[in-house]
Every structure is written in structure tokens, then in C-alpha cells.
Amino acid sequence: MKEKIILIGGGGHCRSVIDVIEQENRFEIAGIIEKYVGESEAVLGYPIIGTDDELHILRKKYDYAFVTIGHIASNSVRVKLFNKLKEFGFTIPVIVSPFAYVSKHAKVADGTVVMHHALVNAAVEVGENCIINSRTLLEHDVIVGNNCHISTGVILNGGVSVEENSFVGSGSVVKQGNKVSGFIKMGSVVK
């Protein structure tokens, strides 16, 4: 029997994570937690079962939870909710698409999702609560700090370091050995 998991946040990123969880086939999604129940609707058929303010109550029923709010302009809500889940003692797993590749020599921390067709090569370290989005390449020895979003189609070449709380926009390429931080806009080339 699969463990039940609740998802925190019911927007677009939630839909993408639901697809990965369904494909991974490791968890049964019990439902979605939203900020306000009255204005929210089911997400891809999964019901809204509570609000952010009820997480301490939901903890009595569920062991597993995952933050499914995206990170573009700011990651403050993601970080706040991730810390709240830890505070209440939820188990926050690593979610990896079966269509992604994660080297057995890589380390991916709790609360991180590795989306479809991402490549995480040898000696890569990815921190907690990160989004490694579809078709991203993390080449050897890349380090991604906590609470980062590496967007679709990003290429981080060997030895790149991404400081925590950073956002790297879709299609960006970072030259080997560079350090990046903050907000890197879509299509950037960092030499």
C-alpha cells in the first residue's frame, strides 16, 4: 500500500508535481492544501482538503507532505511553508520523475522535486526545497543551495555553484566554474 501525501499549494506548479508523483507511483495523493478553501477548486481531480492554517491538525492524519507552490518572483511562501512542514514533523520526501536521470553519485535533499527529463550528473549536490525543472542539465560537481528554482531547459556546466534562494530562468546557460545568485533572467548566458 502506498503512503498518502498532501500537497501544499494548488496552482500551476502543483499540476506539474502531481504528474510527476503519479508517474513515480510511490505515493497516493490524499489532497491539496490551499490558503483559502472557499475560493479553490479540485486540482486534476484531487480535492482541496484543508488550509495552511490547518497543517498542525492534518499532521495527525498524514505523515507525508510536499510544497507545490512555485518560485518565480519570490520564494518566501515556499520557504515559509517548507519550514512549517518541518516544524510540524511531516516527512518531506524527494520526488523524482521516472523520466529524469539522477546519478547514484549525486545528493538531492528533502523537499526537492526533479521534473521530467532533467539530468542530475555525478557529484552534484542539490539542497532542500528546490525545483529542478523539466529538461534541466546539472553537470558534474554542480552545487545548488537550498530553496532554489532551476527553470526549464537550464544548463549548469561543471562546477557551477548556485547560492541558496536563487532563481535561474528558463533556457539560461552558466559557464563551468561560475557562481550565480539571486534572480537570473530567462535566456541568460553567464560566462
CA distances from 128 to 59, 94, 99 (A): 20, 9, 21
Quick one: pLDDT at residue 37?
Answer: 64
| Alpha carbons 180 and 9: distance in angstroms, whole number | 28
Span 98-107, average pLDDT: 98
Domain ranges of the chain: 3-87, 95-185
Confidence grade of residue 41 (pLDDT, cut at 50, 70, 90): confident
The CATH class that applies to domain 3-87 reads alpha beta
Does residue 73 carry a pLDDT above 90?
no
| Alpha carbons 130 and 71: distance in angstroms, whole number | 9
Quick one: pLDDT at residue 18?
Answer: 97
By CB atoms closer than 10 A (0-12, 13-18, 19+), residue 86 is middle
Confidence grade of residue 74 (pLDDT, cut at 50, 70, 90): confident
CATH of domain 95-185: 2.160.10.10
Span 12-17, average pLDDT: 95
Tens digits of per-residue pLDDT, 131-169?
999 999 999 999 999 999 999 999 999 999 999 999 999
Higher pLDDT, 31 or 74: 31
What percentage of the chain reaches a pLDDT higher than 70?
Answer: 98
